[in-house]
Amino acid sequence: MSFDDGPQPGTMNCYHVCEQLGIKATFFMVGLHAEEKPRKKWIDSIRRQPLFLIANHSYTHAFKNHYQSFYGQPNLALADFMKAHDSLHVPLKIARLPGNDAWALNKRFKGTKQVKPLLYLLDSAVQYMVLGWDVEWKFKAGDKPIQSAQALLLETQKAMTGKENFVKKHTVILAHDRMFRRAEDRDSLYTYLAALKAMPNVVFETLDNYPGVKK
Ligand SMILES: [Zn+2]
């Protein structure tokens, strides 16, 4: 399981649900979001829990979602990732690009023309690995989840057996911390993850165990 954009309201619900179920998860965090005081504590909790891994989702979330400017200036974007690396004490060089399902792993690159220069730079200049996702729990206005837990479960099962994943049989699932800040949505996350965990042959791993990731 992977969660993006934390620390944000919702992060600790993700934390508690995964901890209760014993599910390993990777939190792609934004440096800027960690500046407020209580949130630093959340990061420390995640860091101390062996089920979880902190990864890099840039410092400013692509200059606060100014994607054209961010990806158009790959050197500045790289510096932004490095600032997050230092401020969040990211343990391994694993990143996810804001707003983009892009990959840079073992000289295999996947992404739009807009983000490719940054992918190459992260790989060659700082030996960073970039991981996208295979299944997304989408959200609408107010950060409400779009798919029901059941619908997402079907999508996930399809991905696990299909040919579309970046690496077959390995399914990277994306959701955003803030989608689960309300109790009913937190419960929906619990329902989804509990059902997935109960399926035969399903093993949850943090992304440092994804094929091709160097530790
Ligand atoms: Zn994001």
Q: What is the pLDDT of residues 106-163, one digit of tens each?
A: 999 999 999 999 999 999 999 999 999 999 999 999 999 999 999 999 999 999 999 9
Average pLDDT, the chain: 97
Cα separation, 28 vs 24, in Å, equals: 13
Percent of the chain with pLDDT over 70: 100
Q: What is the pLDDT of residue 77?
A: 98
If you search the block for the tokens 């401020």, which residue do you land on?
Answer: 87
Q: What is the pLDDT of residue 36?
A: 85
The Å distance, Cα 29 to ligand 1 centre, comes to 8
Q: Tell me the CATH number for domain 2-209.
A: 3.20.20.370
Per-residue pLDDT averaged across 62-86, rounded?
98
The Å distance, Cα 200 to ligand 1 centre, comes to 31
The Å distance, Cα 96 to ligand 1 centre, comes to 8
Q: What is the pLDDT of residue 170?
A: 98
Q: What is the pLDDT of residue 38?
A: 86
Q: What is the pLDDT of residue 126?
A: 98
Cα separation, 78 vs 83, in Å, equals: 9
Interhelix angle for 183-198 vs 11-21, to 10°?
30
Q: What is the pLDDT of residue 157?
A: 96
Comparing CA positions, the residue from 130, 129, 126, 135 lying closest to residue 156 is: 135
Q: What is the pLDDT of residue 89?
A: 97
> What's the predicted TM-score (pTM) here?
0.98
The Å distance, Cα 176 to ligand 1 centre, comes to 8
The Å distance, Cα 147 to ligand 1 centre, comes to 19
Torsion angles phi and psi, residue 138, rounded to 5: -80, 160
Could you report the per-residue pLDDT of 158-194, keeping only the tens digit for each?
A: 999 999 999 999 999 999 999 999 999 999 999 999 9
Residue 5: pLDDT band by 50, 70, 90 thresholds?
very high
Predicted confidence (pLDDT) at residue 26 exceeds the cutoff of 90: yes
Contact 62, 99 (CB under 8 A): yes
The Å distance, Cα 3 to ligand 1 centre, comes to 9
Q: Which residues contact 194 (CB under 8 A, 6 or more apart)?
A: 21
